[in-house]
């Protein structure tokens, strides 16, 4: 199979497998790859500890962006859909708390993608913030928070109804004026 020739090079058949020049070329090519590996290790550290990538964990860049926006006072990143781990990071609660709140509050129902993962939208995140405020800051129980959310929803619908009626009567008046001018 393999033999050693007089220069102590391992040969397969009659050709040497690796010459000293080829070994140096490989070493030169490996240096940038080693540098990339070191840079990846540095990038994968958050607060001095390596990030363990697991299922459902948000990307490091997104977590850092969320933390940076939180420092600036901006709470929700500019995205359409958020994973449960991202919402947990934004709102400051654990994912299991969010899943429990979904079972308790009918108003909090995030959609699911084809693989079954929860996909929160901005309205869902706003609802999480309201629930968190009622439960943690104002001291409501779960049933009290449900009642308060229903009251808030009815009040918002009531305000919209009055404004909607005024808008519709205004549009109706404008349309009747247009119809009169067309008939002339």
- Between CA 158 and CA 169 the distance in angstroms is 17
What does the radius of gyration of the chain's CA atoms come to, in whole angstroms? 31
- Between CA 33 and CA 31 the distance in angstroms is 5
pLDDT value for 173: 92
SS (H, E, C) 91-151: HCCCHHHHHHHHHHCCCCCCEECCCCCEEECHHHHHHHHHHHHHHHHCCCCHHHHHHHHHH
> Is 8 or 176 the better-scoring residue by pLDDT?
176
Show me where the domains of the chain are located: 2-43, 60-139
**pLDDT of 39 above 90:** no
With pLDDT > 90 as the criterion, what percentage of the chain qualifies?
36
- Between CA 66 and CA 122 the distance in angstroms is 14
Mean pLDDT across the chain: 74
Cβ(110)–Cβ(118) under 8 Å? yes
How would DSSP label each residue in 46-85? Answer: ETTEE----TTPPPHHHHHHHHHHHHHT--S-S-S-B-HH
If you count them, how many residues does the chain have? 184
Q: Which of 6-10, 59-63, 100-104 has the lowest mean pLDDT?
A: 6-10
User: pLDDT for 3-27, tens place per residue?
Assistant: 555 655 554 444 444 444 544 443 3
The residue-averaged pLDDT of 75-91 equals 85
- Identify the architecture of domain 60-139 in CATH: Orthogonal Bundle (1.10)
**Highest mean pLDDT pick, 1-15, 77-91, 132-146, 149-163:** 132-146
> Is 44 or 149 the better-scoring residue by pLDDT?
149
């Amino acid at each position: 199979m393999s033999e050693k020739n007089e220069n102590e090079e391992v040969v397969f058949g009659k050709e040497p497998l690796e010459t000293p020049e080829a070994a140096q070329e490989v070493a030169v090519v490996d240096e940038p790859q080693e540098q990339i590996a070191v840079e990846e290790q540095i990038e994968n550290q958050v607060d001095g500890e390596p990030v363990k990538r697991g299922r459902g964990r948000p990307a490091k860049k997104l977590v850092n962006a969320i933390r940076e926006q939180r420092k600036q006072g901006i709470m929700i990143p500019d995205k359409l859909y958020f994973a449960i781990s991202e919402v947990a990071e934004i709102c400051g609660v654990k994912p299991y708390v969010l899943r429990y709140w979904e079972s308790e509050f009918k108003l909090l129902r995030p959609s699911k993608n084809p693989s079954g993962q929860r996909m929160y939208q901005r309205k869902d995140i706003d609802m999480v913030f309201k629930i968190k405020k009622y439960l943690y800051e104002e001291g409501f129980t779960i049933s009290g928070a449900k009642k308060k959310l229903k009251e808030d929803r009815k009040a918002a619908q009531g305000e919209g109804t009055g404004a909607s009626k005024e808008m519709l009567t205004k549009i109706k008046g404008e349309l009747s004026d247009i119809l009169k001018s067309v008939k002339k």
